[in-house]
């Protein structure tokens, strides 16, 4: 997806925030302006609240469309039970979980990332979700994934990371309810390690344990046990799953596992307050693994940007159990997070070079906007008024303004005047690359005879409401074709990022200072 440029009013008032810090008079002026911006933030929140509520509702509806297993209280007429025998060859129940995109594969790496991001969104913005009656849906969607991940980890040093053969799966076009081809299992273990996917699954378990701690303590404890075991497995038997399972290189190739180790350890620190995990990400491995001072994107493959923001949280809000050397490491994470934020702001002196005018390259607008909203709210909660970017100052509202501009773009304020969220607005993709959406619910398709629906010139008979497609190319073009999987295929992990972003935009927020 492409992201967008400025969609708000001019920045004249923002420039007034550059107050002279040398006099008490100017200090008073700056304080008054801080109250002004707080009021303005509430206005911004009111502007987007209706949009956010609608899109959050549609998002959770889409997650249900991607579910495998025996569906309970299913209200989606074109979806039914599927993949009920996944895992049976190893006497495991791997029927739940999510199909990653428009196909019928279960890829553990992006699925675990989906769970981690959804947990983070709930922990930060659960009150917002509850206000629009979506918190229980979010928790239910999360548990559908973690139930699968628990069963996929039958012993300490073994994790099943994939259900299905992607080459065989992509030779078919069929409804999930009628698929009959073999669905082999793929595992990592001490002989064939997969540090990044084991660590990401540990992060998913640890973050989810915080979500369920107060509503299902026994389940939370079970998640935390698996998280600890998986992190130890990931760290002890280091090796890339892309090397152990070369087949994944065509689909979810990993560029490295150091970021996932830090990501998992950070979530385990939040979940346990065990100082050894904080020491792991600061004193022991911070310098080697964290890419301090190098801004990056946030995605299912690269956790560095999310990691910098998540660890900034500890430094911004303060913690009594942090040593001097650990605090120095946390300061480096925070400085890098600030560099990331400065890179996102269109008129910043250090705005990322990955832009065309005011637009970011298509891959990461939702993830970047989610992190911007989080950091903005961290600043508000801690009373941090100013973000300095190479001599120019910005306030929390500037980050929020950037995030709103991204949502504006994907919902239709773009040269195509198209919403890239299916079901939102009057002009959205009709030929989404999604099997269940493209095949009539009463069609009894086999592996290959469903291809007539892939090639059909008619719009999808089932609207995948809430599906976030890949979006336009850099030249602002979008080809609405079912065969155009690059632009027209939705993914669950991008949808998880979207729900975090939109939940944050319901209103500006005072964050909890500790997840525990």
Strands 159-163 and 106-107: antiparallel
Distance CA 146, CA 200 (A): 12
Distance CA 206, CA 227 (A): 5
Alpha helices by DSSP H, listed for 383-480, are 396-410, 435-438, 451-454
Distance CA 510, CA 512 (A): 7
Find residue 389's DSSP bridge partners: 392
Element (H, E) at 123: helix 108-131
Non-local (6+) Cβ contacts of 116 within 8 A are 200, 203, 204, 207, 263, 267
Q: For residue 293, is it left (φ>0), alpha (ψ between -120 and 50) or beta?
A: left
Non-local (6+) Cβ contacts of 168 within 8 A are 181, 182
DSSP-derived secondary structure for 343-364: HHSTTSTT--SSEETTEE-TTS
Distance CA 419, CA 38 (A): 30
Non-local (6+) Cβ contacts of 43 within 8 A are none
> Catalytic site residues?
103, 433, 480, 489
Handedness of CA 503, 314, 240, 87 (dihedral sign): negative
Helix, strand, coil tally for the chain in percent (to 5): 50, 5, 45
Question: Closest Cα partner for 407 from 433, 430, 373, 379?
Answer: 373
CA 392-393-394 angle, 5° bins: 130
DSSP-derived secondary structure for 240-283: -HHHHSGGGGGTS--S-SHHHHHHHHHHHHHHH--HHHHHIIII
- Both tokens of 168, joined, read 């065989």
Exposure letters 6-40 (e unless 16+ CB within 10 A, then b): eebeeeeebeebebeeeeeeeeeebeebbeebeeb
Q: What is the dihedral of CA 274, 279, 281, 286, to 10 degrees?
A: 180
């Amino acid at each position: 997806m492409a992201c967008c440029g400025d969609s708000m009013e001019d920045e004249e008032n923002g420039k007034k925030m550059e107050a002279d810090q040398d006099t008490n008079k100017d200090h008073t002026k700056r304080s008054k302006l801080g109250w002004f911006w707080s009021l303005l933030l509430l206005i911004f929140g009111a502007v987007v609240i209706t949009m956010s509520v609608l899109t959050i509702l549609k998002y959770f509806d889409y997650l249900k469309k991607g579910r495998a297993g025996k569906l309970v209280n299913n209200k989606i007429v074109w979806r039914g039970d599927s993949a009920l025998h996944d895992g049976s060859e190893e006497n495991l129940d791997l029927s739940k979980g999510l199909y990653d995109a428009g196909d019928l594969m279960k890829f553990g790496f992006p699925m675990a990332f989906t769970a981690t991001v959804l947990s983070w969104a709930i922990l930060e913005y659960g009150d917002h979700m509850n206000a629009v009656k979506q918190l229980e849906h979010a928790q239910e969607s999360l548990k559908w994934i973690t139930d699968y991940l628990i069963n996929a980890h039958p012993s300490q040093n073994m994790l099943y990371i994939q259900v299905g053969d992607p080459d065989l799966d992509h030779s078919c076009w069929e409804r999930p309810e009628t698929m009959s081809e073999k669905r082999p299992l793929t595992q990592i273990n001490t002989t064939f390690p997969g540090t990044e996917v084991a660590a990401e699954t540990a992060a998913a378990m640890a973050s989810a344990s915080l979500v369920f701690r107060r509503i299902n303590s026994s389940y939370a404890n079970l998640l935390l046990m698996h998280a600890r075991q998986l992190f130890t497995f990931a760290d002890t038997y280091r090796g890339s799953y892309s090397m152990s399972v070369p087949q994944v290189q065509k689909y979810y190739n990993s560029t490295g596992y150091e970021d996932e180790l830090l990501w998992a350890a950070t979530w385990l620190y939040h979940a346990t307050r065990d100082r050894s995990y904080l020491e792991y990400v600061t004193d022991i491995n911070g310098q080697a693994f964290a890419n301090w001072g190098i801004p990056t994107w946030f995605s299912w493959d690269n956790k560095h940007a999310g990691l910098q923001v998540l660890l900034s949280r500890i430094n911004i809000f303060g913690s009594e159990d942090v040593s001097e050397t650990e605090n120095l490491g946390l300061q480096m994470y925070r400085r890098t997070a600030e560099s990331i934020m400065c890179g996102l702001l269109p008129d910043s002196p250090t705005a990322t070079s990955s832009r065309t005018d005011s637009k970011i390259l298509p891959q990461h607008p939702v993830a970047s906007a989610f992190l911007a909203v989080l950091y903005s709210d961290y600043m508000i909660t801690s009373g941090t008024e100013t973000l300095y970017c190479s001599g120019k100052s910005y306030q929390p509202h500037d980050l929020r303004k950037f995030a709103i501009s991204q949502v504006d773009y994907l919902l239709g304020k773009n040269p195509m005047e198209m919403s890239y969220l299916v079901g939102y607005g009057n002009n959205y993709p009709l030929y989404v690359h999604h099997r269940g959406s493209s095949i009539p619910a009463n069609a009894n398709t086999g592996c290959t005879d469903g291809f007539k629906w892939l090639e059909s010139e008619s719009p999808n008979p089932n609207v995948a409401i809430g599906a976030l497609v890949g979006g336009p190319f850099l030249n602002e073009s979008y080809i609405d074709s079912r065969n155009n999987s690059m632009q027209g295929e939705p993914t669950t992990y991008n949808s998880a990022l979207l729900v975090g972003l939109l939940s944050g935009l319901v209103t500006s927020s005072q964050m909890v200072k500790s997840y525990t």
